[in-house]
Structure formats: C-alpha cells, structure tokens
Structure 1
Amino acid sequence: MDSQVPCFEIDHSEVDMDEATRIGEGAYGEVFLVNWRGTEVAAKTIRSTIASNPKAKNTFLKELALWQQLRHPNIVQFLGVLKHSDRLIFLTEYLRNGSLYDILKKKGRLDTKTAISYALDIARGMNYLHQHKPHAIIHRDLTPRNVLQDEAGRLKVTDFGLSKIAQEKDSYGYKMTGGTGSYRYMAPEVYRRESYGKSVDVFSFALILHEMFQGGPSNRAETAEQIADKRAYEDSRPPLSSFLYPEPIKMLLKECWHKNPDCRPTFEEIILQLEVIEQDFQNEKAMKACSSCVVL
C-alpha cells in the first residue's frame, strides 16, 4: 500500500465473494453481504474504472486508511481492504436495519421525539468528523442513504469515499464539481462550483432533518438537478408548515440552510440546540400529562 498509514489488509481467501448476497449499490460500486470470520459484514466493491487507475486507487486507499482510524458510536466502522483479483473491495460493519432512506420510505413522517433523536445521532457523528485533527473531514455526500441504523436503533454516518481532508491552511477551500455528491442535498456553493468548507455538510443535514419531519423529500415532481439549480440561483428552500415543524426546528433549519455558508452553525452548536429542543419537548409532554391527571 502506498498510503502513509496502510489499510488493514484482509486475505481474499477469508471472504467467499461467490457466496455473497447483493444488498445495494453505493457511491462507488455494489454492496454485498458476506461472512468474515463468522460475522456478517458489508463488502463494498469499487468500480473497475477506479480500481484499475493507479492514481485514483491510491487516493481511495488513503481515504480508507483515514476512515480506519475513526472511532465513534455514530460512525460506521471500517474493517479493512480485501484484495481480490483486479477488484478493490473493502469491508465495513453490516447494519441490518438499512438506511434512513429505507426508514422514511417505510414509515413516512417521524414523530418529533424520534426525529430529534435521529438528528442528534447524525449531528454527533458529523461533529466528530468535522473536529478531526489535524484536519477536519468533510463528508461531501451526506444523504439519507448514507445514514444507517444499527440494531439498537442508533443512526451512523457512512461512506466517506467522497470526503476530503479540509486543509485549514488553504484559505480558498476546495473546489467540488456539481456532479459530485447528490444534487438533492447539495449546498448552493457546491452546485455553483465555488470554494466550500465544512458548512456544506450542515446544509445537507438541514435537508435530511426537514425530510424526517415531512416523511420524505419535497418537490418530487422536479428532478434533483432542477431543485439544486433553484436553491443555488433563486434561493429556493423547502416549505416549512407550522403544523409539521415545531418553531425551534423551523429556526434551526433556516440557520442550517442559510445562503451564506459562514452564517450556518457548526455541528457542535447544532447539538447544543437540539439537546435544548429535546429537553423542552420532554418537559412540555410531562406538563401536558400532568395537567390531564384527575385528582380524586
């Protein structure tokens, strides 16, 4: 491996890919359920166009080497790289409950308590990435499909294949093409191909939070690219119904999808706000329950 911190390598004989069950498709290839050392894990295959390109492969391996150093309850655990003929395959923990996309598709709109709890899970995972030293890790493709649920019901952020280390010393930030990441969750500055920073993930987070209260994406009649274009050039944002969104959540959403990236809160600030909202919601429920009690 050319990476400074090599990826943990798993001998291909330990995993029988012929017995693998295809369970989905990721940003860079197909995802399979396999057995490794008696445990079910996810095997993610990397497209041959990347695996066969030495420079692209090396860049990818460096990002995987970075991922393998990450440890957090709200981050999917990277396990290692499987070298298998001309393919590049890496293993992660397998979360059988699927993605937040699957949950919303099945359940629709979430109740306030669940939505806030899920939002805190995502924010804590993202805060860990953004506070990574010596350089922050920007996810760049935070979507409901890239948020998975474990058996305990906790959400974990996954797929850092598109993430890059944000060099703090580079005052101009990184350039990211409009074709990178998912249009529906893309920050306006990314779509306009401008320099960007960590707050692109905050924008994406806001749209995920909005969907949890609504039960799915808005503007389904328009293509994701049309939606991204309107957000970037017409300052368009999803509707905020008073019936669906508690006032504190509406205020948080407006801050997180602010057109000025510098005005968006950090995930550390988002966590603090959500914890206050969660506590206030619990107190309000307790008071309502108390007022409905009948003293005999």
Structure 2
Amino acid sequence: MKEATLIGEGAYGEVYLVKWRGTEVAAKTIRASIASNPMVKNAFMKELALWKKLRHPNIVQFLGVLKQSDRLIFLTEYLRNGSLYDQLRKKGKLDPLTAVAYALDIARGMNYLHQLKPHSIIHRDLTPRNVLQDEAGHLKVTDFGLSKIAQQKDSYGYKMTGGTGSYRYMAPEVYRRESYGKSVDVFSFALIVHEMFLGGPSNREEAAEKVADKTAYEDYRPHLASYIFPEQIKTLLRECWHKNPDRRPSFQEIIDRLEKIHATLQEKIVLGTCCSCMIL
C-alpha cells in the first residue's frame, strides 16, 4: 500500500489508487471494525474465490487480494471517470436516451450476477455510488457482495447502511429486517433510474433514514412527473418498486423492456431530425 492515494470512502472502508504490476488499480479496504471479526474474514475469503471467476462488461473486474494480517484489502480495476453519483452531482439530469442506455448497463450487470450458477449474487447495496463509468462511457456495477459479508446476519451488530446514503435505495423488506431475495436489487435499481431522469434524489432535503422509514411503513415512493418521465418508464418504475417483492420484474424482463424503450427513443430522435431537415 505504499504511495497509495485516497480517492474515496464507502460504507465498508476506504478506496485507494495504487500501482499494481505497473498498472493503476483501486485498492479497497474493509474497515477494521468489520474485518476483525473472524466470521467476516472467513466470509470474505470465500467470496473472493467466487469474484475471481466473474467476467462481464458491466461489472467491475476483481483483480486480486493483498494479504495483510491486520486488515482486508482487495484490488479491482480503476475507473477514472468516477461514479454515477459523481456524474449526477456535476451534470444534473440526463437526457432520456442516455438515462435508458445507462439503465441497460446496470440491468445487464445485475442480471449477470442474479443468474450466476449455482448461487446468484444479490448486491444488497446498489446505489449510484456503486455504479462506475469506464472510459468508453459504459456503466459497471461494483461492490456487489460486500454487504453480505458485512452483515453476517447482523451477528455482531453491523448494519448494511453505512454513511453513504444507502438507506435511500433500500427495499422496504430489508429495512424492516424481513427475509428477502433478488428483487431487493430491482427496487434499488428503480430509484437509481428515477434519479437519472430527475438529476438526483427527489427528497434530498430529508434524512436518508427517514426516507427509508416512510418507504417501508407508509408506502412512500418518489413522484413521477409526466413531463419528465416517458410513460413506459413510469410503468416500469412502478413495477420495480412495488411493495410486493414477488410483483417486481426480473432484470432479464427489465432488459427486454428497456431495449424496446431505447429503440423507440432512438426512432423519435431520427424522425425529429428528419422533420427538422424538411422544415429547413
């Protein structure tokens, strides 16, 4: 970890930019308060064996682990364009075509994780901070599986939420500490897509935990203004953040529908351009 530059801090630890075998990579540390637990350390090492096998253009590539006795450190590819959170904070809302293209990137990465055999990976902490952009402009999902390691069924009192606003994206059943499955990621995905069209959380003035409480116990959902959200996107989001987890679509279904929406938006742009040419 010599010549390491701190580039970020997440719910589970710090992120450093380091040189590894002559290449810039991200070194992610797991907080000592978490890593010191033997159960967590064992879970981490088991998870690493799985991460090594993962290959998909829309998930951040795991590279290896640094074995240090006092802490857990793993290496991933370094994506210098930053996170979706950074983008939305700098640029505000995205145009519909870009938002849908980004949504497809996230959905494809998540679908890969959910369809892994013999055991699927549930992210559990899908947020704009955990979606990074590569140099080609595509999005990649990162930090999948970390909350599973950190939780360990909350056997030592660690909550999966951290200080990075994860509460805002938390499915009601997770907040209520009920049993849950893959559809918790679909719920989080819907809120991320909502933010891409809006430019950020609609309720950013409210404390994240208060938002999660309202979502879980008052069935609160963000407003879907017709002048911002295309009708097909509104319908999809309502299904994805449905209070009944069994009513939420799978990521494969989401991909199929987003591809059609993306094609429709592209057609409208082409027709609009042609009409403009005819007017001229």
TM-score relative to the length of structure 2: 0.92
| Structure 1 segment 89-238 matched on structure 2, within 5 A | 89-164=73-148, 179-181=159-161, 182-238=166-222
> Do residues 27 (structure 1) and 11 (structure 2) align?
yes
Q: Which residue of 2 aligns with 1:261?
A: 245
**In structure 1, what is the Cα distance between the partners aligned to 2:264 and 2:192?**
22
In the alignment, is the contact (CA less than 8 A) between 2:147 and 2:160 conserved in 1? no
Matches within 5 A, 1:68-87: 68-87=52-71
Give the equivalent residue in structure 2 for 1:38.
22
Aligned residues with identical type, % of pairs? 76
Q: 1:193 to 1:295 in 2, by over 3 A?
A: closer
| Distance apart, 1:66 and its partner CA | 1.5
Change (3 A) 1:278 1:198: same
Instruction: Select the structure that is richer in helix.
Output: 2
Distance (Å, rounded) in 2 between the aligned partners of 1:210 and 1:275: 17
Q: 1:178 to 1:288 in 2, by over 3 A?
A: farther
Offset of 1:178 from its aligned partner?
A: 9.8
Which ranges of structure 1 fall in alignment gaps of 5 or more residues?
Answer: 1-16, 166-173
Q: Is the 8 A contact 1:72 1:128 kept in 2?
A: yes
Helix, strand or coil at the partner of 1:88 = strand
CA contact (8 A) 2:128 2:192 kept: yes
**Structure 2 residue ranges without an equivalent (≥5):** none
**Kindly tell me: are residues 219 and 156 of structure 1, through their superposed partners in 2, closer, same or farther at Cα, counting changes over 3 Å?**
same
How far apart in 2 are the matches of 1:201 and 1:142? Answer: 6
Contact 2:121 2:145 in 1 (8 A): no
- Asked if 1:292 is matched to 2:276, the reply is yes
Aligned equivalents of 1:258, 1:196: Cα separation in 2: 14
Q: Give secondary structure in 2 for the equivalent of 1:294.
A: helix
- Once the two structures are TM-superposed, the CA of residue 294 in structure 1 deviates from its matched residue by 2.6
Relative distance call for 1:175 and 1:30 in structure 2 (3 A) is closer
The code of the aligned residue for 2:101 comes to S
- Structure with higher Rg: it is 1
Q: 1:48 aligns with which of 32, 36, 54?
A: 32
Aligned partner of 1:245 in structure 2 is 229
DSSP-derived class of the 2:28 partner = strand
- RCO higher in 1 or 2 (8 Å CA, sep ≥ 6)? 2
The residue type equivalent to 1:71 in the other structure is: R
Q: State how far apart, in whole Å, the 1-side matches of 2:194 and 2:279 are.
A: 40
Distance 1:55-1:164 versus aligned 2 partners, 3 A rule = closer
SS of residue matched to 1:293: helix
Q: Give the counterpart letter for 1:179 in structure 2.
A: K
Q: CA deviation at 1:293?
A: 2.6
Q: CA deviation at 1:135?
A: 1.4
Q: Distance in 2 between matches of 1:211 and 1:55?
A: 36
Tell me the secondary structure at the aligned position of residue 277 of structure 2: coil
Contact 1:63–1:160 (Cα < 8 Å) also in 2: no
- Residue pair 2:7, 2:17 contacting (<8 A) in 1 also: yes
